Chain A
């Protein structure tokens, strides 16, 4: 390994990047766009669901209840069907996603407390709606009881430690750093290397004394810098717009990101040794990208996944990064406490990079 030669490849790479407007725009554009999209769109505090109310009791108390529920903002009562059949039709047509049904004997049920006084009908074909239903179920209906009596205390008190306001961006933004890095790092490197081969530059390069390690590392190093810039962009916007806390050490954030960037770049380099065209490289990048997003715990909770999916998830760098970054940003965990995740990332990067360098032959066949 010759450092001057390595450096000359890095410089060449940076010069090319500077002239590649599209890539350059993507470096800052992708993180910004994704952050805003995900930050605003993935919002699990569902509000303003289209709903109907079927009030069969028609008493002062039932009307009071409807007002209380409407005030919670979760449901917007747009329809008042007169029969359960009408209600079912609305639900089936998709006109409403939830309905509040108040039975004729509402007040008696409320007073006796042996049967549920209310029914909340929800569209189970939509996961988000079910989530909202759970929110509603927690409404303090006991206050409506007549005569007033103290609400029974729950058996378990839930204490939300790191996100007391239960704001979604606090959970999504840290993981989003992983999503953005995975997308850009894997894709950029894989394409950049295959492009060199497609354009014929490689035939010239491999006829010189340059070594496979210099060739690979020279390609990867500039992207490390770019990855760190992206981390900064997401952190900055995340803190400024979504008030995401940085509770742990900033150095730890960057160290974890650095190792994750290297692991992602290694994956990109590895894909480039398999792909023949830039299009193939892109397809492969997306092929690795989807399972990472789905299984890493960023979108769906890891604990809820079946065993084989969990094993698979353990292989992906993003799984470990999501744990690291949530730990550091939200729980103020230190890298020392999270070292197994960091080690897994490091191992992933080292193995793939090594395999890729071994697979890089200075030959055309």
Chain B
């Protein structure tokens, strides 16, 4: 019997190849219970592949997984009763109505009929789907589809929710509501693994893993990660941030630059020599600038972690 205090997910050396591509490369994960754990990573970094392996839908090429105490992929079937999985692409039936979709999911999870009816009604109300109950799922808007998909994923009250980019087509207001719903679930003891491209969402996770080219490049609480960022973030105010960016792009010690409105945000090595080179380069280019260090945010962490790291090619089999 899996113990209740053990982490919800433990993965060691998790890898998956597709031909020569290492979609996931030796990832170690530990996800504590009743937390929101975020997966942040650019396109193709292996977020979906990792989530699929965690629920037993894809076989790992290497590594060991334990989810809710079940060895995966060997014990994937009993696990499936206790998890809810929301796929990246809408995967409910376009040609069934909102209610019919939920009724179907309830039956698939063997909810007793009376209980199923109550659950469906409650979820329709909670996720603002009551008025849409008779509408075909295929005709819902992006945000409505996502509310329906979440309702379907939590219908059987799973202990663990795996959400693959659940808010990718959703406006900021709806995203906030979506996250409120997630935290309500966490309060009730649910563990949530969620992948995202959005920094503001990553910021809200209890803990965060940054994936890049299949590798885990950072793992920790969002604030810890920001504080532990090697290097400094400089905010450069000047008349022509674009020229300043071109000037600094190839300077040694400059990790990344990004224009934010009228200023340039520069991620650079923390040593004095780098700072001196930046000052000198701007002067040479005749750019009058005010330079001030600023607090690193998660985006800086993300940029620092994911920049210029070529994907490791697997040796030919």
Contact = CB atoms under 8 A, between A and B. Distances in A.
Given A203-B91, A363-B57, A208 B80 contact: yes
A12 interface: yes
Contact of B58 (A4, A5, A8, A364): A364
Interface string A191-221: 0000000011111111111100000000000
A15 B96 contact: yes
Interface in B69-120: 76-77, 80-81, 83, 85, 87, 89-96, 100, 103-105, 107-110
A83 interface: no
Q: Assign chain A's interface to a size class.
A: 20 to 34
A119 B285 CA distance: 107
A12 B104 contact: yes
B163 to A, nearest CB: 12
A209 B91 contact: no
A85 B92 CA distance: 74
B104 A209 contact: no
A179 to B, nearest CB: 29
Find the residue from B77, B83, B85, B107 having the highest chain A CB count within 10 A. Answer: B107
Contacts, number: 77
B77 A209 contact: yes
A2 interface: yes
A360 to B, nearest CB: 14
Contacts of A206: 57
B52 interface: yes
Contacts of B109: 208-209
Contacts of A363: 56-59
A4 B56 CA distance: 25
A365 interface: yes
A165 interface: no
A35 to B, nearest CB: 30
B55 interface: yes
Contact of B108 (A8, A199, A362): A8
A5 B96 contact: no
A5 B52 contact: no
Contact of B57 (A11, A201, A207): A207
Nearest to B93: A201
Find the residue from A16, A200, A203 having the highest chain B CB count within 10 A. Answer: A203
A2 B58 CA distance: 25
Contacts of B92: 201, 204
Find the residue from A205, A207, A208, A363 having the highest chain B CB count within 10 A. Answer: A207
Interface in A15-63: 15-16, 19-20
B93 A209 contact: no
A209 B108 contact: yes
Find the residue from B77, B108, B110 having the highest chain A CB count within 10 A. Answer: B108
Interface string A165-203: 000000000000000000000000000000000011111
Contacts of A202: 91
Contacts of B108: 5, 8-9, 205, 208-210
A2 B110 contact: yes
Given A2-B110, A363-B58, A364-B57, A16 B85 contact: no
A207 B104 contact: no
Contacts of B104: 8, 11-12
Nearest to A12: B104
A5 B94 contact: no
Nearest to B104: A12
Contacts of A199: 91, 94
Contacts of A204: 85, 87, 91-92, 152
B191 to A, nearest CB: 16
24 contacts: A2-B110, A4-B107, A5-B107, A5-B108, A8-B107, A12-B93, A16-B95, A199-B91, A202-B91, A203-B89, A204-B91, A205-B108, A206-B57, A207-B57, A207-B85, A209-B80, A209-B110, A210-B108, A363-B57, A363-B59, A364-B57, A364-B58, A365-B58, A365-B59
Given A8-B108, A15-B95, 8 more contacts: A5-B107, A11-B104, A19-B136, A200-B89, A204-B85, A207-B57, A364-B57, A364-B58
Give 4 nearest A-B pairs by CB, closest first. Answer: A8-B107, A204-B91, A207-B85, A200-B91
